[in-house]
């Protein structure tokens, strides 16, 4: 897409920690990858559902007792802090979609009435992409009658951002991970978390494949001469050397999908893999 991509984020892509952290970090202005959009409806849903998720991660169990009540109160405070931080960090991301505006659009935009405000928010916000992990409930053809856009899940959208600007993508993730005091603190740990999440498994695999490709390029550049080339097995010269030098720009062209199988060695001592070329 030419220029900045405006992406309306459905509530469900902002629930979990990896997805929330990654999408908001990638959306920060300094990386120039995309501009996130949302509405008060999204914030209301986050305020309703996120506290329970946070409370459970804090070790709480809803038994109706005093400990749960204290944990739930703390979770609500953390959620309010998170939403306030989103408003401060992205002051121009809120799309004004009052209920009367939602009512002006047909119910056929979505299969679930609860998703209609999301679709209308994307239309009113003039989004280029609607990012949701519940794509089956959105009729993208009907939505496109009001505003042409793409419908993508979180993994697909982050893969789009990675392909458009790998340097900015990995720079954003590197800054995010280096700011963490707890797991995940490097790319290897992040990929492990992503691959354990059904909604994010695909982007985890894609990042891992990308690191494997960079590792293989770096390894071949060090090796110099090799016995094989994409045109087949090479002949030796009179000194017994292989004729084709693998390295630099030429070696990069030789590495094509399927990429090398990931190995623990490829992540390097810091867990972030080889530096971008």
List average pLDDT for each run of 10 residues in the chain, which is 277 residues long: 82 92 96 97 94 74 66 88 96 97 97 97 98 97 97 97 95 96 95 95 95 86 54 52 42 44 79 85
- pLDDT number for residue 218: 81
pTM to 2 decimals?
A: 0.83
- Beta-carbon contacts of 131 under 8 Å, excluding residues fewer than 6 positions away, are 7, 8, 9, 10, 13, 23, 152, 153, 154, 157
154-164 and 166-178 helices, crossing angle to 10°: 120
Q: Where exactly are the structural domains of the chain?
A: 6-162, 180-267
Separation between Cα atoms, residue 16 and residue 134, nearest integer Å: 15
Token look-up 């119910």 returns 107
d(CA 96, CA 157): 24
Residue 51 pLDDT: 84
Residue 60: per-residue pLDDT: 59
CATH number belonging to domain 6-162? 3.40.50.1010
Contact 111, 151 (CB under 8 A): no
At 261 the pLDDT is 56
> Residue 210's closest CA among 188, 184, 183?
188
What angle, rounded to 10 degrees, do the helices at 66-89 and 40-57 form? 140
């Amino acid at each position: 897409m030419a220029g900045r991509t405006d992406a309306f984020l459905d509530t469900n892509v902002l629930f979990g920690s990896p997805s929330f952290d990654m999408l908001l970090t990638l959306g920060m202005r300094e990386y120039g990858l995309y501009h996130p959009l949302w509405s008060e409806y999204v914030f209301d849903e986050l305020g309703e559902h996120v506290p329970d998720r946070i409370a459970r991660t804090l070790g709480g169990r809803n038994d109706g007792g005093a400990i749960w009540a204290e944990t739930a109160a703390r979770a609500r405070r953390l959620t309010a802090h998170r939403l306030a931080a989103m408003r401060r960090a992205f002051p121009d991301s809120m799309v004004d979609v009052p209920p009367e505006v939602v009512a002006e659009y047909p119910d056929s935009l979505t299969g679930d009435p609860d998703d209609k405000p999301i679709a209308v928010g994307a239309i009113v916000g003039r989004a280029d992409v609607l990012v949701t992990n519940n794509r089956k409930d959105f009729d993208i053809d009907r939505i496109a009658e009001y505003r042409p856009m793409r419908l993508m899940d979180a993994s697909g959208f982050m893969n789009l951002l990675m392909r458009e600007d790998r340097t900015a993508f990995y720079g954003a993730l590197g800054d995010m991970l280096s700011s963490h005091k707890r797991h995940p603190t490097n790319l290897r740990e992040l990929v492990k978390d992503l691959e354990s999440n059904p909604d994010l498994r695909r982007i985890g695999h894609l990042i891992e494949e990308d690191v494997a490709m960079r590792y293989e390029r770096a390894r071949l550049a060090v090796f110099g001469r090799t016995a094989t080339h994409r045109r087949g097995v090479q002949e030796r010269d009179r000194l017994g050397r292989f004729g084709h030098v693998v390295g630099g720009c030429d070696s990069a062209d030789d590495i094509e999908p399927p990429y090398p199988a990931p190995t623990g060695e490829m992540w390097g001592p810091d867990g972030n893999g080889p530096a971008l070329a």
